Amino acid sequence: MHAHLRLSSCAVRSFIDLESPRLLRRDDELFSLSLRLRLRLLHRERLDEKNNNRRDIYYRNDPCRVAIDCDVATIGDLCREPTIFKSNITMPLYELTLIVKPLIKEDLIKVATRCCNVLFDHKAIVTKIDSFGYKDLAWRMSKEKVNYFTGSHFSIGCYMTHDNMYKSYGILKSNNEVLHNYFHKILPEKEDLSYECTLDDELKPPAYRKSVEEMRRNQRLKYFTRRNIAKTAFMFSRQKPISYPIAPPKS
Protein backbone atom coordinates (compact mmCIF):
# COMPACT_ATOMS: atom_id res chain seq x y z
CA MET A 1 0.00 0.00 0.00
CA HIS A 2 1.39 3.36 -0.95
CA ALA A 3 0.38 6.90 -0.07
CA HIS A 4 0.39 9.38 -2.95
CA LEU A 5 0.13 13.10 -2.50
CA ARG A 6 -0.25 15.81 -5.13
CA LEU A 7 -0.39 19.45 -4.08
CA SER A 8 -0.87 22.74 -5.84
CA SER A 9 1.71 25.53 -5.66
CA CYS A 10 -0.16 27.37 -2.89
CA ALA A 11 -0.75 24.16 -0.96
CA VAL A 12 2.92 23.25 -1.12
CA ARG A 13 3.96 26.45 0.60
CA SER A 14 1.28 26.14 3.27
CA PHE A 15 1.63 22.41 3.76
CA ILE A 16 5.38 22.05 4.34
CA ASP A 17 5.49 23.36 7.87
CA LEU A 18 8.40 22.41 10.08
CA GLU A 19 6.57 23.15 13.31
CA SER A 20 3.10 21.64 13.09
CA PRO A 21 2.03 18.15 11.92
CA ARG A 22 -0.51 17.86 9.11
CA LEU A 23 -2.97 15.11 8.12
CA LEU A 24 -3.00 13.66 4.61
CA ARG A 25 -6.20 12.03 3.41
CA ARG A 26 -6.46 9.90 0.27
CA ASP A 27 -9.88 8.32 -0.35
CA ASP A 28 -10.81 6.65 2.96
CA GLU A 29 -7.25 6.26 4.27
CA LEU A 30 -5.82 8.68 6.80
CA PHE A 31 -2.09 9.19 7.08
CA SER A 32 -0.56 11.34 9.78
CA LEU A 33 2.76 12.64 8.55
CA SER A 34 4.58 15.02 10.84
CA LEU A 35 6.48 16.83 8.12
CA ARG A 36 9.23 17.96 10.42
CA LEU A 37 11.41 16.52 7.69
CA ARG A 38 13.00 18.94 5.27
CA LEU A 39 12.14 17.77 1.78
CA ARG A 40 14.95 17.52 -0.70
CA LEU A 41 13.47 17.30 -4.17
CA LEU A 42 15.94 15.35 -6.22
CA HIS A 43 14.81 13.33 -9.21
CA ARG A 44 15.42 10.02 -7.46
CA GLU A 45 16.99 9.61 -4.00
CA ARG A 46 16.88 6.55 -1.82
CA LEU A 47 16.55 7.51 1.82
CA ASP A 48 17.69 4.27 3.41
CA GLU A 49 19.49 1.59 1.41
CA LYS A 50 19.60 -0.85 4.33
CA ASN A 51 15.82 -0.97 4.59
CA ASN A 52 14.08 -3.15 2.01
CA ASN A 53 10.92 -1.09 2.14
CA ARG A 54 10.49 1.39 -0.69
CA ARG A 55 10.96 4.91 0.66
CA ASP A 56 11.71 7.30 -2.20
CA ILE A 57 10.82 10.93 -2.45
CA TYR A 58 11.12 12.15 -5.99
CA TYR A 59 10.30 15.15 -8.03
CA ARG A 60 8.10 14.74 -11.08
CA ASN A 61 9.55 17.61 -13.09
CA ASP A 62 7.02 20.09 -11.74
CA PRO A 63 7.54 22.38 -8.72
CA CYS A 64 3.78 22.55 -8.15
CA ARG A 65 3.36 18.76 -7.85
CA VAL A 66 5.00 16.56 -5.22
CA ALA A 67 4.79 12.79 -5.04
CA ILE A 68 5.56 10.88 -1.85
CA ASP A 69 5.81 7.07 -2.11
CA CYS A 70 6.37 5.13 1.09
CA ASP A 71 5.37 1.95 2.77
CA VAL A 72 2.76 2.33 5.48
CA ALA A 73 4.97 0.58 8.02
CA THR A 74 7.76 3.07 7.47
CA ILE A 75 5.79 6.31 7.65
CA GLY A 76 6.98 6.97 11.19
CA ASP A 77 10.62 6.50 10.18
CA LEU A 78 10.10 8.72 7.17
CA CYS A 79 8.90 11.56 9.36
CA ARG A 80 12.10 11.39 11.39
CA GLU A 81 14.41 11.17 8.35
CA PRO A 82 17.02 13.95 8.71
CA THR A 83 18.54 13.64 5.22
CA ILE A 84 15.83 15.60 3.41
CA PHE A 85 15.94 19.33 2.89
CA LYS A 86 13.09 21.78 2.64
CA SER A 87 14.83 24.44 0.55
CA ASN A 88 14.10 22.87 -2.83
CA ILE A 89 10.35 22.45 -2.40
CA THR A 90 9.62 26.01 -1.37
CA MET A 91 9.20 28.70 -4.00
CA PRO A 92 10.71 31.88 -2.51
CA LEU A 93 10.36 35.27 -4.12
CA TYR A 94 13.29 36.30 -6.31
CA GLU A 95 13.95 39.65 -7.91
CA LEU A 96 15.68 39.19 -11.24
CA THR A 97 17.82 42.11 -12.44
CA LEU A 98 18.37 42.14 -16.19
CA ILE A 99 20.69 44.41 -18.14
CA VAL A 100 20.23 44.14 -21.91
CA LYS A 101 22.35 45.45 -24.75
CA PRO A 102 21.42 48.77 -26.39
CA LEU A 103 18.69 47.69 -28.83
CA ILE A 104 15.82 49.25 -30.72
CA LYS A 105 12.36 48.96 -29.23
CA GLU A 106 11.18 46.00 -31.30
CA ASP A 107 14.27 43.90 -30.54
CA LEU A 108 14.13 44.90 -26.88
CA ILE A 109 10.58 43.59 -26.59
CA LYS A 110 11.63 40.29 -28.18
CA VAL A 111 14.54 39.89 -25.76
CA ALA A 112 12.37 40.66 -22.73
CA THR A 113 9.72 38.19 -23.94
CA ARG A 114 12.38 35.52 -24.49
CA CYS A 115 13.74 36.00 -20.96
CA CYS A 116 10.26 35.72 -19.44
CA ASN A 117 9.61 32.56 -21.43
CA VAL A 118 12.76 31.07 -19.89
CA LEU A 119 11.25 31.67 -16.45
CA PHE A 120 7.90 30.21 -17.50
CA ASP A 121 9.62 27.11 -18.90
CA HIS A 122 11.15 26.54 -15.48
CA LYS A 123 7.79 26.73 -13.70
CA ALA A 124 8.17 30.26 -12.35
CA ILE A 125 5.30 32.48 -11.26
CA VAL A 126 6.01 36.03 -12.49
CA THR A 127 4.48 38.74 -10.32
CA LYS A 128 5.83 41.94 -11.85
CA ILE A 129 7.95 43.32 -14.69
CA ASP A 130 9.47 46.79 -14.27
CA SER A 131 11.49 48.67 -16.85
CA PHE A 132 13.97 51.30 -15.63
CA GLY A 133 14.80 52.51 -19.10
CA TYR A 134 18.04 53.09 -20.97
CA LYS A 135 20.84 54.12 -18.58
CA ASP A 136 24.59 54.28 -18.24
CA LEU A 137 26.21 51.23 -16.71
CA ALA A 138 27.99 51.43 -13.37
CA TRP A 139 31.06 49.85 -14.99
CA ARG A 140 32.11 48.59 -18.38
CA MET A 141 30.60 45.28 -19.46
CA SER A 142 31.71 43.09 -22.32
CA LYS A 143 29.86 40.51 -24.40
CA GLU A 144 31.37 38.64 -27.32
CA LYS A 145 34.54 40.74 -27.08
CA VAL A 146 32.56 43.99 -27.41
CA ASN A 147 32.56 46.59 -24.62
CA TYR A 148 29.31 48.27 -23.59
CA PHE A 149 28.84 51.36 -21.45
CA THR A 150 25.03 51.67 -21.62
CA GLY A 151 22.11 49.26 -21.47
CA SER A 152 18.42 48.74 -20.76
CA HIS A 153 17.54 47.76 -17.19
CA PHE A 154 14.68 45.45 -16.18
CA SER A 155 13.46 44.08 -12.86
CA ILE A 156 11.31 40.92 -12.78
CA GLY A 157 9.73 39.49 -9.64
CA CYS A 158 9.05 35.75 -9.69
CA TYR A 159 8.40 32.77 -7.44
CA MET A 160 10.44 29.69 -8.32
CA THR A 161 12.35 26.83 -6.75
CA HIS A 162 16.03 26.98 -5.90
CA ASP A 163 17.09 24.45 -8.54
CA ASN A 164 15.10 26.09 -11.31
CA MET A 165 16.57 29.44 -10.37
CA TYR A 166 20.09 28.13 -11.03
CA LYS A 167 18.99 26.60 -14.33
CA SER A 168 17.39 29.86 -15.45
CA TYR A 169 20.49 31.78 -14.43
CA GLY A 170 22.67 29.57 -16.64
CA ILE A 171 20.37 29.98 -19.65
CA LEU A 172 20.14 33.76 -19.27
CA LYS A 173 23.90 34.01 -18.83
CA SER A 174 24.44 32.29 -22.18
CA ASN A 175 22.04 34.68 -23.91
CA ASN A 176 24.04 36.94 -26.24
CA GLU A 177 21.65 39.87 -25.75
CA VAL A 178 21.81 39.89 -21.92
CA LEU A 179 24.81 41.66 -20.42
CA HIS A 180 24.05 40.87 -16.79
CA ASN A 181 21.46 38.92 -14.79
CA TYR A 182 21.21 38.45 -11.05
CA PHE A 183 18.63 36.68 -8.86
CA HIS A 184 18.15 38.31 -5.46
CA LYS A 185 16.15 36.40 -2.87
CA ILE A 186 13.59 38.56 -1.09
CA LEU A 187 13.43 37.59 2.58
CA PRO A 188 10.24 38.23 4.58
CA GLU A 189 10.53 41.31 6.71
CA LYS A 190 10.11 40.98 10.46
CA GLU A 191 8.56 44.06 11.97
CA ASP A 192 9.88 45.21 15.31
CA LEU A 193 6.77 46.30 17.19
CA SER A 194 8.62 47.05 20.40
CA TYR A 195 9.75 50.48 19.15
CA GLU A 196 7.16 53.20 18.67
CA CYS A 197 8.02 56.01 16.27
CA THR A 198 6.42 59.40 16.81
CA LEU A 199 6.50 62.57 14.79
CA ASP A 200 8.30 64.48 17.54
CA ASP A 201 11.19 62.00 17.48
CA GLU A 202 11.49 62.19 13.71
CA LEU A 203 11.62 65.99 13.77
CA LYS A 204 14.61 65.93 16.11
CA PRO A 205 18.16 66.03 14.74
CA PRO A 206 19.57 62.51 14.18
CA ALA A 207 21.97 62.81 17.13
CA TYR A 208 19.06 63.33 19.57
CA ARG A 209 16.78 60.53 18.36
CA LYS A 210 16.24 57.62 20.69
CA SER A 211 17.34 54.97 18.22
CA VAL A 212 20.53 56.87 17.36
CA GLU A 213 21.34 57.44 21.03
CA GLU A 214 21.20 53.71 21.73
CA MET A 215 23.38 53.00 18.71
CA ARG A 216 25.98 55.59 19.81
CA ARG A 217 25.91 54.30 23.37
CA ASN A 218 26.72 50.74 22.27
CA GLN A 219 29.16 51.54 19.50
CA ARG A 220 32.85 50.79 19.78
CA LEU A 221 35.33 53.38 18.56
CA LYS A 222 38.87 52.28 17.91
CA TYR A 223 42.01 54.38 18.09
CA PHE A 224 42.12 55.65 14.50
CA THR A 225 38.42 56.52 14.51
CA ARG A 226 38.76 58.54 17.72
CA ARG A 227 41.87 60.26 16.39
CA ASN A 228 40.14 61.24 13.14
CA ILE A 229 37.14 62.60 15.04
CA ALA A 230 39.38 64.72 17.26
CA LYS A 231 41.40 65.92 14.27
CA THR A 232 38.28 66.87 12.31
CA ALA A 233 36.82 68.71 15.30
CA PHE A 234 40.06 70.65 15.76
CA MET A 235 40.14 71.62 12.06
CA PHE A 236 36.56 72.87 12.19
CA SER A 237 37.32 74.91 15.29
CA ARG A 238 40.14 76.70 13.45
CA GLN A 239 38.21 77.39 10.29
CA LYS A 240 36.41 80.66 9.72
CA PRO A 241 32.67 80.28 9.32
CA ILE A 242 31.15 80.81 5.92
CA SER A 243 28.97 83.59 7.28
CA TYR A 244 32.00 85.47 8.68
CA PRO A 245 31.24 89.21 8.33
CA ILE A 246 33.31 91.06 5.77
CA ALA A 247 34.33 94.56 6.68
CA PRO A 248 32.94 97.19 4.31
CA PRO A 249 35.50 98.96 2.11
CA LYS A 250 36.90 102.18 3.43
CA SER A 251 35.55 105.25 1.69
Looking at the fold, whether 108 and 171 belong to one and the same domain comes out as yes
Looking at the fold, whether 173 and 105 belong to one and the same domain comes out as yes
The answer as to whether 41 is a domain residue is: yes
Q: What mean pLDDT, rounded, does the chain reach?
A: 68
Residue 56 is predicted with a pLDDT of 40
Looking at the fold, whether 142 and 120 belong to one and the same domain comes out as yes
The C-alpha angle with vertex 49 and arms to 46 and 52, in degrees rounded to 5, equals 105
Looking at the fold, whether 118 and 174 belong to one and the same domain comes out as yes
Over residues 4-17, the pLDDT tens digits come to 334 333 333 333 33
The answer as to whether 204 is a domain residue is: yes
Looking at the fold, whether 204 and 179 belong to one and the same domain comes out as no
Looking at the fold, whether 26 and 68 belong to one and the same domain comes out as yes
Is the model's pLDDT at 89 over the cut of 50? yes
> If DSSP codes are grouped into helix, strand and coil, which group holds residue 57?
strand
Where is the domain boundary, 50, 79, 108? 79
- CA pair distance 207, 216, nearest whole angstrom: 9
Where is the domain boundary, 25, 44, 79? 79
Looking at the fold, whether 159 and 206 belong to one and the same domain comes out as no
The answer as to whether 2 is a domain residue is: no
- Reported as type and span, the H/E element at residue 173 is helix 162-173
Dihedral sign for Cα 115, 117, 122, 126, please: positive
Residue 186 is predicted with a pLDDT of 87
Over residues 166-216, the pLDDT tens digits come to 999 999 998 889 999 999 988 877 665 666 777 888 788 887 888 788 787
What residue numbers bound the domain in which 105 lies?
93-185
The answer as to whether 247 is a domain residue is: no
| DSSP category for residue 123 | T
Residue 99 is predicted with a pLDDT of 92
How many domains does the chain fold into? 3
The answer as to whether 209 is a domain residue is: yes
Looking at the fold, whether 173 and 203 belong to one and the same domain comes out as no
- Give the pTM: 0.44
| DSSP category for residue 2 | B
Read off φ and ψ for residue 123, nearest 5 degrees.
65, 35
> If DSSP codes are grouped into helix, strand and coil, which group holds residue 102?
coil
Is the model's pLDDT at 151 over the cut of 70? yes
Read off φ and ψ for residue 152, nearest 5 degrees.
-95, 135
